[in-house]
Amino acid sequence: MSLDDSIGFLINQAGRRISQLLAQRFAPYEVTTEQWSVLARLREEDGISQKELAFRVGKDQTNVTRILDQLERKQLVVRRPNPDDRRSFLPYVTEEGNRVYLLLLPIEKDVVAEATSGIGSEDLAKLKELLVRVTDNSLQRLNL
């Protein structure tokens, strides 16, 4: 079997190319794709634990802590004490973080539209469904 026939390789390549394109478009705003994914997840649900955030963005906790440090330095996120556990902090998007998110969201949508151009809406819906299934199948077999 050729590497180009490997579904894992193809998924990885597609994801990397989209990430590279997104990184190019985000560069003038000094936001990385990793920072974008954390910011976007927090926009969905502010104040979740760093452990839960790490799971939701598919990164380890150490990387998420580093990304949150960077976002905090840029004043896009602030960490507040967890009222249920004084040893931990919960991240929240700031007003500036919301402004940057709203500025970058159309860029992200354009990149995805460019990467999926020529693919019909039914095929895109099926692709999303299949990618979710592949992700879920893999996640069920991981020892997390």
Specify the CATH number for the domain of residue 34: 1.10.10.10
Assigned domain for 144 exists = no
The pLDDT tens digits for 11-60 are 999 999 999 999 999 999 999 999 999 999 999 999 999 999 999 999 99
Domain of residue 90: give its range: 3-138
Query: Taking a C-beta distance cutoff of 8 angstroms, is the pair 51, 61 a contact?
Result: yes
CB within 8 Å of 17: residues ≥ 6 apart? 115
Q: Could you give the percent of the chain with pLDDT greater than 90?
A: 88
- The span from the CA of 52 to the CA of 49, in Å, is 5
Assigned domain for 64 exists = yes
Residue keyed to tokens 């598919």 = 58
Assigned domain for 108 exists = yes
Assigned domain for 143 exists = no
The model carries a pTM of 0.89
Assigned domain for 71 exists = yes
Predicted local distance difference test score (pLDDT) of residue 144: 63
Assigned domain for 69 exists = yes
Give the chain's domain count.
1
